[in-house]
A and B are shown apart, each in its own frame.
Chain A
Amino acid sequence: MSDSPVIAHGRLETASDEHPSYQRHHFESVEQQADTTNFAMWLFLLTEVMFFGGLFTAYLILRNWYYPAFVEGSHQLNIFWGTANTSVLITSSFTMAMGVWCAETRRKNALVLCLVLTFVLGLVFLGIKGIEYHEKWVKHHVPGLNYSAESFLNPASDHEVYAEYHDKPLMPDMAAKTELYFFLYFAMTGMHALHMIIGIGILAFMIFRARAGAYTNGHVTFVENFGLYWHFVDIIWIFLFPLLYLISRHQ
């Protein structure tokens, strides 16, 4: 019985068909399994698009409503750190992409190196974000916890920012709306950072597994799909950076 041919979907198969151990038996082939997993990963990323889409929509509407507050709030962000972080994240996406290539071409040591580099660059990104968050705390720009609109009621009191932008004082009701800008700043970059933290955790797990030879035996699905997640997080930042840091330099 076990050697008798079985016709399934027009394909001649025998029960003794050889297939790699990582192929689940409900898939016809490794390729079908990979395509299905890839599709599932993209569906998950679409739910993430919808989730961040809500935040971007809120930013779009509130920035239009309280335009002066959002412009002056944005002037508090440090373009140097923002640019540095964008470069760090793009480089980490590159090392991750190279990691996928190493897994596909079965280079174990190179894969571990790529994953470690991605891990380290992820930590550098969070470190820079930490420097920026700390600056917000020191300047009382953390909504809800430690907030003062003084920088916007009296811009000249904030020497560094005033020297660059010469912002005009806002009326008290508009100055109060700057708290909304910082709320969205922390919500959006915070959610992004949370995704980075989760990604860094998974990277640590993957480094541990890759050292034992996982992912370089032909079964690259996990590395590839994690790559999709990491690049997606990169794309979110690609939009956050101009929206939060760059577009409000000129009124």
Chain B
Amino acid sequence: MSEHSTHEATHETHEHEQEHEHEHHIVSPTIYVIVAASLLTLTATTVAASYVEMYVFNVVVALAIAVVKAVLVVLFFMHAKYSTKLTKLTIISGIFLLFGLIGMTLTDYMTRAWGQW
């Protein structure tokens, strides 16, 4: 009787954990090696690309590569891919807020004194 109820209690606890908590995920060294190698390759790529005349696309390519690198770092080195929904939402809202603030600052500058400095 007492053994049975203990078993049930453990079972309930386990279900509860699945619902509200999230198990610690260990990212394997293989992934870290792949990500680090990709980051170093992308660094070489962005430096090489800067030596090619691409007009406005020099900035576009450099920033695109930087964004890819940052996403790799956030997802794997910073474990965002394996984190809770709360953490994922925090990261996304942070990026949204950053672009919101930059965007609003730019609307102010561009509608007031642009071209008059």
Contacts and interface: CB of A to CB of B under 8 A. Distances in A.
Chain A residues touching B, majority SS = helix
Contacts of B29: 98, 101
Contacts, number: 149
A42 B63 CA distance: 23
Interface in B24-51: 24, 26-29, 32-33, 35-36, 39-40, 43, 46-47, 50-51
Interface residues of A, number: 54
A246 interface: yes
A98 B79 CA distance: 12
A35 interface: yes
Interface stretch (A49-57, A183-191, A205-213): A49-57
Nearest to A45: B94
B91 to A, nearest CB: 6
A49 B98 contact: yes
Given A94-B32, A238-B66, A249-B51, A46 B94 contact: yes
The contact size tier of chain B is 35 or more
B98 A42 contact: no
Contacts of A61: 105-106, 109
Interface of A: 10-12, 29, 31-32, 34-35, 38-39, 42-43, 45-46, 49-50, 53, 56-57, 60-61, 65-66, 79, 83, 86-87, 90-91, 93-94, 96-98, 101, 104-105, 224, 227-228, 231-232, 234-235, 238-239, 241-243, 245-247, 249-250
Given A83-B47, A239-B66, A249-B50, 10 more contacts: A12-B9, A46-B90, A56-B102, A93-B73, A98-B32, A228-B78, A231-B74, A246-B46, A246-B50, A247-B62
30 contacts: A10-B16, A11-B13, A29-B21, A31-B21, A31-B23, A38-B84, A38-B87, A42-B87, A42-B90, A42-B91, A46-B94, A50-B97, A50-B98, A53-B98, A57-B105, A60-B106, A61-B105, A83-B43, A90-B36, A90-B43, A94-B35, A94-B36, A97-B27, A235-B70, A241-B43, A242-B46, A242-B50, A249-B51, A250-B55, A250-B58
